[in-house]
Structure 1
Amino acid sequence: MEIAVLIPCYNEALTIGKVIDDFKKELPNAKIYVYDNNSRDRTAEIAEEHGAIVKKEYRQGKGNVVRSMFFDIEADYYIMIDGDDTYPAEFAHSLLEPIMNNEADMVIGDRLSNGTYESENKRNFHNFGNNLVKGLINTLYKSNINDIMTGYRAFNKFFVKSFPVMSPGFEIETELSIHSLDKRFLIKELPINYRDRPEGSESKLNTFSDGIKVLRTIFTLFKDFKPFFFFLLWAVIFFLLGLAAGIPVIVEFLSTQFVTKVPSAILAVGLEILSMLSLACALILDTVVANSRKQYELELHRVKALIRSK
């Protein structure tokens, strides 16, 4: 069985050599792939010196790198890891075990359960952001995933070859989690240790701008995957706002038989029309998504048959 270690990299010259050596020690028969994403340092050269298979991805963003990796690399089992040496390689065996035993399609390396992320991570608001994203997704999907945004994951071939990567950047982890929940893939979480970046290694994440991108991704995927609840929510909001604007007009008309609050009446009618349009969108798009899910299930059967034939 062939194992592929996937390492997307951008300016990780300080740590990439150690990450490769650690995985060669833990998984000596695995192929280690480093996809260099326009690094301005010696990341690619160092990765080659340490024996990795190095390729270039010129479209900037981690999502673009993962997309190319999933397209290009053929293996039975995959491990995705960041090149910043924050995830210990020795947990690779425990992440792969449920995949190899057909207990999961994706295994998540959970940094948050044992408290090492909160103690090691020195970046302000990252813990708050992780908890916010986790709460939103678990509420929307009635799930209990503890670490939505971890970069340490294992996959089987079935998952990799059927996952449509849409996010271009660091939102990819959020997309992986939401896609898995929405398409009912088997997910398992295992606690792992986390360590902060070594001295001199700088994070590529911007707490606020990348946080906004992640929230925008959740908003977009919620609209795409659960349009009935998305547009029903807007229908209720518009209905209540229209009611608030229209009640004084109705009360005035019932008591005087006249309407002097014409702007309020127009506003109320407009809001109620928007509410009805949102409800219509909810019903129509719910049918569209249901048919899309059926088509995706048929595509999964085709992918699984293709994998088995190989």
Structure 2
Amino acid sequence: MSSTDDVCVLVPTLEEAETIGDVVAGFREEGFDRILVVDGGSSDDTRELAREAGARVIEQSGSGKGQAVREAVAEHVEASYVLMVDGDGTYRPEDAQAMLEPLLSGEADHVVGDRFADMREGAMTRLNRIGNRAINRSFAAIHGQSYGDILSGYRAFTRESFREMNVTADGFGIETQLAVECARQDLEVAVVPISYLPRPDGSSTNLHPIRDGGIIFLELYRRTKTNNPLFYFGSVGLVSTVVGSFIGLYVGYRWFVVGISHEVLALVAAFGILFGVQLLIFGVLSDLILTLHREQLDRIEQIESD
């Protein structure tokens, strides 16, 4: 059996008429027959060109890349393996076999294509590079895992592992959620070096760096609640405690040195310190509960395996 027989190439699209035909043709040349294009209501010829190139095309019921991927895997993908790729022509079909190898060999449940391994000139702006680096480092610090390039749109995963994930993002936050879910469920993740190409002339990006970057950072922080509660509660608690302490020092200085009292600021300082300390304690307790929960799950798995 060919390594591509049980693989579905999943391509979420929106206004990709300039590139989708070449993308589909490229994967067909690599031997992939199951190519599913999920379109988000393009007003150009994206759907028609994808069909002409040999893809199966459906129009998603909602909007956003995340919703398109969830709907496709839940209702339209029958293959055991999914190769997810953007339809903008920035990823090479020639890297597909390397992406799938860790899945097909059973070494991984999820594969991330690392764009920084071979990023071509003009493929990413300096602002996007800085944002990507910051997000990757934040993820590694928070979740204790380094997946190289968690915002990469070139992914490969088993259908079953995806269905076990709690993926709710509708837009570009899906890549962040996938990375967090992999860390939370302790899935085997492989990072594969890939090439990242500039967008072809005539195509435009649907990504808005400031807006989407802010959404991704918020999603990354929100998801720490269930995977690293000490960071989730402790970071806010630490900030509140530090701010309250500085205000308290200012009030103390004004009282003892100048002789002027600031009752309202004193109350704010006290509230900030108490609130911060309570959040820090809550974070420690939550982290302890999460650790015990994971230990219990490990024991249950060991008993079941025996």
- With normalisation by structure 1, the TM-score equals 0.85
Counterpart of 2:280 in structure 1 is 279
Would you say the 8 A contact 1:120–1:194 is kept in 2?
Answer: no
Counterpart of 1:17 in structure 2 is 21
Sort the Cα spacing of 1:50 and 1:279 in 2 relative to 1 into closer, same or farther, 3 A: same
> CA shift at 1:64, angstroms?
0.8
Question: 2: distance between equivalents of 1:295 and 1:91?
Answer: 40
Q: Which runs of 5+ in 2 are unaligned?
A: 302-306
Counterpart of 1:228 in structure 2 is 230
How many residues of Structure 1 are paired with residues of Structure 2 in the alignment? 297
Is 1:52 aligned to 2:17, yes or no? no
Question: 2: distance between equivalents of 1:153 and 1:192?
Answer: 11
Is 1:84 aligned to 2:75, yes or no? no
Question: 2: distance between equivalents of 1:38 and 1:283?
Answer: 46
Is 1:43 aligned to 2:42, yes or no? no
SS state at 2:38 partner:
strand
Sort the Cα spacing of 1:210 and 1:247 in 2 relative to 1 into closer, same or farther, 3 A: closer
Matches for 1:91-170 after TM superposition, within 5 Å: 91-116=95-120, 119-121=121-123, 123-170=125-172
Counterpart of 1:7 in structure 2 is 11
> CA shift at 1:259, angstroms?
8.8
Question: 1: distance between equivalents of 2:296 and 2:30?
Answer: 40
Amino acid at match of 1:84: D
Question: 2: distance between equivalents of 1:190 and 1:87?
Answer: 13
Would you say the 8 A contact 2:20–2:88 is kept in 1?
Answer: yes
Question: 1: distance between equivalents of 2:219 and 2:92?
Answer: 28
Amino acid at match of 1:169: G
SS state at 1:5 partner:
strand
Sort the Cα spacing of 1:22 and 1:295 in 2 relative to 1 into closer, same or farther, 3 A: farther
Amino acid at match of 2:37: V
Sort the Cα spacing of 1:231 and 1:113 in 2 relative to 1 into closer, same or farther, 3 A: same
Deviations 1:20-55 (A, max 9, x none): 111112124x41111111100111112122221111
Q: Which moved more, 1:271-280 or 1:283-292?
A: 283-292
Deviations 1:45-91 (A, max 9, x none): 12122221111113111011111112121211110011111111011
Amino acid at match of 2:235: L
Counterpart of 1:197 in structure 2 is 199
Counterpart of 1:304 in structure 2 is none
SS state at 2:18 partner:
coil
Would you say the 8 A contact 2:151–2:175 is kept in 1?
Answer: yes
Sort the Cα spacing of 1:120 and 1:295 in 2 relative to 1 into closer, same or farther, 3 A: farther
Deviations 1:125-148 (A, max 9, x none): 111111111111112123332212
> CA shift at 1:283, angstroms?
4.8
Amino acid at match of 1:274: F
Sort the Cα spacing of 1:11 and 1:271 in 2 relative to 1 into closer, same or farther, 3 A: same
Counterpart of 1:268 in structure 2 is 269
Let me know the Cα RMSD of the aligned residues.
3.0
Kindly, what percent of the aligned residue pairs are identical? 30
Would you say the 8 A contact 1:108–1:188 is kept in 2?
Answer: yes
SS state at 1:201 partner:
coil
Sort the Cα spacing of 1:247 and 1:15 in 2 relative to 1 into closer, same or farther, 3 A: closer
Deviations 1:272-303 (A, max 9, x none): 221243235425644675688689999x9xxx
Partner residue of 1:206 out of 205, 208, 218: 208
> CA shift at 1:207, angstroms?
1.6
Question: 2: distance between equivalents of 1:288 and 1:43?
Answer: 49
Partner residue of 2:178 out of 156, 176, 179: 176
Would you say the 8 A contact 2:119–2:197 is kept in 1?
Answer: no
Question: 2: distance between equivalents of 1:122 and 1:227?
Answer: 33
SS state at 2:196 partner:
coil
Question: 2: distance between equivalents of 1:39 and 1:176?
Answer: 25
Q: Which moved more, 1:232-241 or 1:145-154?
A: 232-241
> CA shift at 1:233, angstroms?
2.1
Sort the Cα spacing of 1:292 and 1:17 in 2 relative to 1 into closer, same or farther, 3 A: farther
Would you say the 8 A contact 1:113–1:146 is kept in 2?
Answer: no
Question: 2: distance between equivalents of 1:248 and 1:211?
Answer: 36
Sort the Cα spacing of 1:296 and 1:201 in 2 relative to 1 into closer, same or farther, 3 A: farther
> CA shift at 1:186, angstroms?
0.7
Would you say the 8 A contact 2:142–2:231 is kept in 1?
Answer: no
Q: Which runs of 5+ in 1 are unaligned?
A: 301-310
